[in-house]
Structure 1
Amino acid sequence: MNNTTRIKKNYQLIKFQKLVIVSVLIGFLSAFLGISLKKITEYYEEIFFHKASTNPIFFVLFPIFGLSIIYFLREYLFRKKENKGIKEIFESTNSKSKNLPNYKIPSHFINGLLTVVFGGSTGIEVSTVVASATIGSVAQRKQNVFRQYKTELICAGVAAGITALFSSPVAGILFALEVISRKVTRAFLISTLIAVATAFGLVFLLDEKPLFTVAVTTWHLKAIPYFILLGILSGLNSVYLTRCVLFFKSQFSKISVHYYKIILGSVILSISLLVFPQLYGEGYHAIKTIFNNSGDTPMTFSLALTYIGIIILKPIVTSATLASGGDGGVFAPSLFIGAFLGLLVASTLNTLFNANVIPINFVIIGMAAVLSASIHAPFTAIFLVCGLTNNYTLFLPILVVCLISKYTAKMTYPFTVYTYSNSLSK
């Protein structure tokens, strides 16, 4: 072996060792950030929601207060920059010169927390994804040896963040692949697998429990036609969510005074919360209620109107939250809409057509189906929802329904909130 070959081998070994070390650091920091944000949000959201439930005036006060605080933080602390969500990651990975600045970590952490705990009808998932992606981006800039691994290290942070939130390492890897990278390289596999393993190790050490406690025992072949129906409806509902978000952002962008946006968004949010308190924050409290009471409750006219109202209003209040300056995305809203849609379909089938389907199965499948269609990432949705419930009994029907919902959505409207741009739509 000549000197040149030996030097190249040593350099490759050193580069590999550094990549392993930095991937461990990214995984730990991203997971710590994700778990911290989840715990703090859950704690304060429960307190504030209980306060508003006992005194409805807080459904009016909390949204305008939260959105105002976020505005002043952006104006005077975070360089007057609005958070664009996952599009910020795309802008960074598609450009050699554009990077995710360091302040995006505290910006998304704080603003995502404030949005949800004060009633903003979205979730912390996108806040976590962008903040953890920034951890990867910062690590990539620290040493010249990592310059070529920009996308890979950002994906490592994203995958670790998703793993921490949903206790599903497979969902983390698939989200980084399906949504962010869309290609597999050796560096992607090394960095992402190590970061995810580190993140899942932290989740295991902290004994993080699944978000939802569900007992799913079986599913029946006779339900397949109804699952297909649910998949089609989920795809259409996801398009409605996407179009709502894009429409509200477009209309609110025409308002020149930012505080008018806050007032308008708060009015929409407050009125909706007064009518349907289930729309408060992430809405996971409402989904837990569904899981606890999703037996064979007969579908009444008033109950059907409630479910339909919630399904129609959720995209509107989510869009108003985001357009008026709230921080978040469509992860939690998609899971929320899917849960109520699944329950509505199952209860209607059982009451009107004596279909004898299992409502809880439809709730879980609906969650995965709407998420799959909203982000055009069916495999992420499958493992994410299975991780949320810590149950893989429904894996096969979820797979089928997620594919149906995705392609229904894609044929109806080819964009997601992540991929849409004015130039593409013309």
Structure 2
Amino acid sequence: MKTTRFIKNNIKLIKIQKLIIVSLLIGFLAAFLGIALKKLTEHYEQIFFTQASLNPIFIFIFPVFGLTVIYFIRQYVFNKKVNKGINEVFESTGSRTKNLPKSKIASHFINGLLTVIFGGSTGIEVSTVVATATIGSVAQQKHNFFKDHKTELISAGIAAGITALFSSPLAGLFFVYEVISKKVSRTFFLTNSIAVAVAFGLVYLVDEKPLFSVGITSWHYYAIPYIILLGIISGINAVYLTKCVLFFKNNLTQVKSHYYKIIIGSVILSCSLFFFPQLYGEGYHAIKEIFANPNQTRLTASLIVSLIGILILKPIVTSATLFSGGDGGVFAPSLFIGAFLGLFVALLLNVYFHADIIPLNFMVLGMAASLSASIHAPFTAIFLICGLTNDYTLFFPIAIVSFVSKFIAERIYPFSVYSYATANVK
């Protein structure tokens, strides 16, 4: 009996050791991929955006060129396999036999990069999610024992990738819990904790700076009613984003020709960029510009027109980018919309209601609210925004606005883009 118990315990220990080793490997590879894609995208997006700013003709050339290149790469390099975004992850985790092919790593890396640098109005987050999920998927295929922990290892890759992009291990953990796995086991906690720890260690080693450098000093309790109002508005706006994406996806299926899709998407994208260059790519460059000194911004007629135009068009151009074959999702668009919406609401309240609130704070709160409502993941939004700014001063109001916006969005429309995809898979 003692010998049998010893053997069982020894086997259990060996399995744990193997899980630790594979989690370390997944964490490093996923984080390295995430950081590499982030750095490349930032570098080349800035180059191409500068060229488009100096020569407006490129605003009409870059989108159609980028989407066309993506199409031909898909046709002749990746054997006509269409990237379906996070749907691919849900299909894999929902099946014991269906796995993400290795080609998805290169496919999403390349297509995500090309989409953004040539002006596609989305972000690299979903490309990173699917590519890093594939790392976990490939790892679990290497050993029969790992196949019993398929979802945990896929989640570990995603968690590490999100950690690398946003310098927030907790955002990575909460994202895979709220969106991918929706349950926690001891194996989930072990594998994902190790992966995000390795990812965060790599972020520290390469000295990644916070994406947005902001000077948040304080906030006041009298602003809570206005914070709740921002959450309500953000929830409504997030449903508009979701509906736009789903409309292009579900109601334009009669457009079968890939060439027509590229033309339609490029026309929508180029015309929008011509009037509102802030919509180019991820849009983080535009957020950094308005973060520079938002508390001194004055509400003028031209600014009102610009903000309304940006808030109306961003969901449309994001949807058009994805419809026409671009790679991406709603992460970056949600952050972009939230920043501009927060600034707009703050300026309106200060001018017309003498609210005396801090526009900078409302930009940060708006990003959290829009992200939470768009993906129905408030904890992810809370820790991701704190990680992006490397500041926890607004933790409590961020929590309030994130839960309010998610509640409002769910009451209006029960699906996010992600949960709608999950429902379709099932």
What is the TM-score when the length of structure 2 is the normalising length? 0.98
1:150 alignment partner AA: K
Q: Which moved more, 1:343-352 or 1:57-66?
A: 343-352
Instruction: Report whether the alignment pairs 1:187 with 2:187.
Output: yes
In structure 2, distance between residues paired with 1:115 and 1:260 = 17
Which residue is equivalent to 1:175? 175
Aligned to 1:58: 58
1:305, distance to aligned residue in structure 2 (A): 1.1
Shift, 1:296, TM fit: 2.8
Tell me the distance in 2 between the aligned counterparts of 1:113 and 1:247. Answer: 25
What is the deviation of 1:251? Answer: 3.2
**How far apart, CA to CA, are the structure 2 residues paired with 1:157 and 1:283?**
26
Alignment match, 1:161: 161
Distance 1:174 1:423 in 2: 20
Query: How many angstroms apart in 1 are the aligned matches of 2:126 and 2:316?
Result: 18
Q: What residue is the counterpart of 1:73 in the other structure?
A: 73
Which runs of at least 4 in structure 1 moved beyond 4 Å after TM superposition?
421-425
**2:310 paired with 1:310:** yes
Give the Å deviation of 1:394: 0.3
Code of the residue aligned with 2:416 in structure 1: it is T
Q: For the Cα contact (< 8 Å) 1:252–1:261, is it kept in 2?
A: no
Q: Which runs of 5+ in 2 are unaligned?
A: none
- Taking the aligned partners of 2:80 and 2:297, their CA distance within structure 1 comes to 50
CA drift of 1:356 comes to 1.0
Q: Which residue of 2 aligns with 1:299?
A: 299
Give, as a single letter, the amino acid of the residue that structure 2 aligns with 1:102. K
Q: Residue deviations 1:30-88, cap 9 Å, x none?
A: 00000000000000000000000000000000000000000001111112111111111
Contact 2:87–2:422 (8 Å) recurs in 1: no
Task: Measure the CA separation in 2 of the matches of 1:247 and 1:24.
Answer: 41
Quote the offset at 1:423 in angstroms: 7.3
Q: Residue in 1 aligned with 2:82? A: 82
Q: Does 1:325 align with 2:325?
A: yes
TM-superposed deviation, 1:422: 11
Name 2:402's counterpart in structure 1. 402
User: Which residue in the other structure is 1:30 paired with?
Assistant: 30
Q: Once the two structures are superposed, what CA deviation does each residue of 1:386-421 show, in whole Å capped at 9, x if it has no partner?
A: 100000000000101100000100000001111215
The corresponding residue for 1:16 is 16
CA contact under 8 A between 1:26 and 1:136: conserved in structure 2?
yes
Write out per-residue CA displacement over residues 197-247 of structure 1, whole angstroms, 9 at most, x where no aligned residue: 000000001110000000101001111111111000000010000000000
**Counterparts of 1:129-140 in structure 2 under 5 Å?**
129-140=129-140
SS of the equivalent of 1:144 reads: coil
Secondary structure, counterpart of 2:417 in structure 1: coil
Offset of residue 352 of structure 1? 1.8
Q: Within 5 Å, which residues of 2 pair with 1:218-257?
A: 218-257=218-257
Residues 144 and 421 (structure 1), Cα distance of their counterparts in 2 relative to 1, 3 Å cut: closer
Matches of 2:324 and 2:252, distance apart in 1: 7
The CA distance in 1 between the partners of 2:321 and 2:201, in whole Å, is: 34
2:69 partner amino acid: I
- Cα distance in 2, alignment partners of residues 351 and 33 from structure 1: 45
Alignment identity in percent? 69
Q: Which residue does 2:261 correspond to in 1? A: 261
Is contact 1:231–1:405 with CA below 8 Å preserved after alignment? yes
C-alpha distance in 1, partners of 2:373/2:57? 36
How far apart are the structure 1 equivalents of 2:102 and 2:254? 30
In the TM superposition, residue 27 of structure 1 has moved relative to its aligned partner by 0.2
1:106 partner amino acid? A
Q: Which runs of 5+ in 1 are unaligned?
A: none
Query: In the TM superposition, what is the alpha-carbon distance from 1:304 to its structure 2 partner?
Result: 0.8
Q: Amino acid of the residue matched to residue 151 of structure 1?
A: T
SS of aligned partner of 1:329: coil
Q: 1:61 to 1:379 in 2, by over 3 A?
A: same
8 Å contact 2:90–2:422 — kept in the other structure?
Answer: no
Contact 1:298 1:351 in 2 (8 A): no
Question: Is the 1:296–1:347 Cα contact (8 Å) retained in structure 2?
Answer: no
SS in 1 for 2:419: coil
Kept in 2, the 8 Å contact 1:129–1:161? The answer is yes
Work out the CA distance in 1 between the residues paired with 2:310 and 2:254.
28
Residue 98 of structure 1 and its aligned partner are, at CA, apart by 0.7
Greater alpha carbon shift after TM alignment, 81-90 vs 50-59: 81-90
Residues 15 and 314 of structure 1, relative CA distance in 2, 3 Å threshold: same
| Amino acid of the structure 2 residue aligned with 1:293 | N
Task: Tell me if 1:365 matches 2:375.
Answer: no
Aligned partners of 2:422, 2:258: CA distance in 1, in Å?
Answer: 22
User: Aligned AA for 2:279?
Assistant: L
- Relative to structure 1, the CA distance from residue 117 to residue 424 in structure 2 (aligned partners, 3 Å threshold; closer, same or farther) is closer
Cα distance in 1, alignment partners of residues 78 and 177 from structure 2:
30
Q: Does 1:271 align with 2:266?
A: no
Q: Deviations over 1:167-218 (max 9, x none)?
A: 0000000001110000001110110000000000000011100000001010
